[in-house]
Each structure stands twice: as structure tokens, then as C-alpha cells.
Amino acid sequence: MITIEELQKVVADNFGGVLTAGQHNVGGAACVWEAYNFATGADWGDYCPDCVEPDLHQLLTRLNDSRHWAGDTESAEVLLPAVVRSLGTRGDVEARKVRSWRLADVAARVLTPAALDVARRPESAARLRALAPITDAATARAACDEARSVRADIAYAADDTYGPVAAADDAARGAADAIYTARYASASAIAATYAATYASAVAVAAAAAASAAADSHGAWRSHVGALLVAAGLKETTE
């Protein structure tokens, strides 16, 4: 299994130490999964390796393709260690369920409140932060109702908060969608796969919305850190 240092060296030697969005031809730039597959001697492409859970593959792909990075070297610094931590995850259904709940939890109790703070909606932010952690279907149901209620209460005003409020509304919608899907993670292995994949997608969208509200690359990196911790791809947030 490749180490973080080995993967970083391959990216530095062959791709200038950067990751770029999208798909690429052999011999030019590379996204995070093209770089990994190249480094391990596999066929060129951004496909999911056999040893990686598909929802984690999608999570890192969406993060790789985000426009919120300060630069391509920053995305490589953050994502390459996460790729190595994702190796060997394939087939763990229980971890899949937990991941869907944890990603929904971050979207609801961390990312959306951050966006609401910027939008000057402290009461709404406090309501979401006060939610019980989402750890199962029951807590997901309760959180889903509250997230939808918060979104219904978000008021647009014709002032300088309009842009941040719109971004907070996007984050709240993403959180509610993630929670709704996570409620069904325990139904079956297939349901867990769908829930984890969908939760990762909307959690990234919520992170992007929260970062757009703050208009800050630093906010994006912090939000990504929270997502990676929730996904089990990072030990602590920065």
C-alpha cells in the first residue's frame, strides 16, 4: 500500500505538486484519483480503486473539483493524505452508515450555522448548534425537522446580508437533504451506500455554501477539515 510520502513525491515529480479539477489526458495534469492510480501503476483515470468505498471516492473527487481552494498546491496538501487514509475501506457497511450520519451532522450542526453567523441570523444558527448529534435514524429524524424549520424561517432582506443569506439558505437545504437521506442508512447495505454517497455530496455543497457566505479561503479549508474528520479521513480539524 502506498504511503502519503510516496504519493506526494509522485505528484511533485510528475504533476508539479498540484492537483487540478476535472479529467485529464495522460502526461499532463492530474486530479486526485488520476494521481493515485498513476502512482500505483494502475491504468490512467479517475475511477474508484477496488479498495476504496465509492462514497469516499466521490467525496474526494468533489473536493478536488471545488473552486474554493486557495490554489492547486493547497488541495494536494489536504487531499493526498486523505486518499491514503481511504485505502482499505471497501466493504465496511457499518462504517458506511456511520459516515452518512456524521456527514449529515457536520452539515447541520457545523457548516450551516457557520453560514448563518455570517448572514447575521444568530438565532437560527443557535437552533442548529443545539441539536443532538446525529448518530442514528431517530436523531436524524429530529434534526431533519429542525433543519427544515430553520430554512423556512430564513428571511431575505434587501441589504448587504442578501448574498450571505442566500448562501446560508443553500447550506440549510443541503443539510436537510443530507439528514433526510441519512435517516434510511440502516435499512440495508444498498441504502447505506446511497445515504453515504448522497450525504457526502450535499455536505460538500453545504461546505461550499458556508465558504461562499464567509467569502474566505480559510473558511473553506476549515470546513473541508470538518468533512474529512467526519468521513474518517482525518484525525482532527485544523
pLDDT in tens, 106-130: 988 998 898 888 888 899 999 999 9
- The angle at the Cα of 111, spanning 108 to 114, to the nearest 5 degrees, equals 115
Written as nine digits, the cell of 81 is 493524505
pLDDT of amino acid 157: 57
Cα-to-chain-centroid distance, residue 80 = 15
Of the candidates 56, 39, 12, which has an alpha carbon nearest to the alpha carbon of residue 197? Answer: 56
Please say if the pLDDT value at position 105 is more than 80.
yes
The predicted model gives 202-230 an average pLDDT of 85
- Higher pLDDT, residue 178 or 63: 63
Task: Give the integer Cα–Cα distance in Å for 165 and 172.
Answer: 10
pLDDT category at 19 given cuts 50, 70, 90 is very high
Q: At what angle do helices 32-39 and 72-86 cross, to 10 degrees?
A: 60
Task: Give the integer Cα–Cα distance in Å for 230 and 182.
Answer: 14
**pTM, to two decimals:** 0.88
- Higher pLDDT, residue 182 or 58: 58
| Segments in 41-121 forming alpha helices (H) | 54-64, 72-86, 93-106, 112-118
pLDDT category at 34 given cuts 50, 70, 90 is very high
Task: Give the integer Cα–Cα distance in Å for 107 and 227.
Answer: 8
Please say if the pLDDT value at position 72 is more than 90.
no
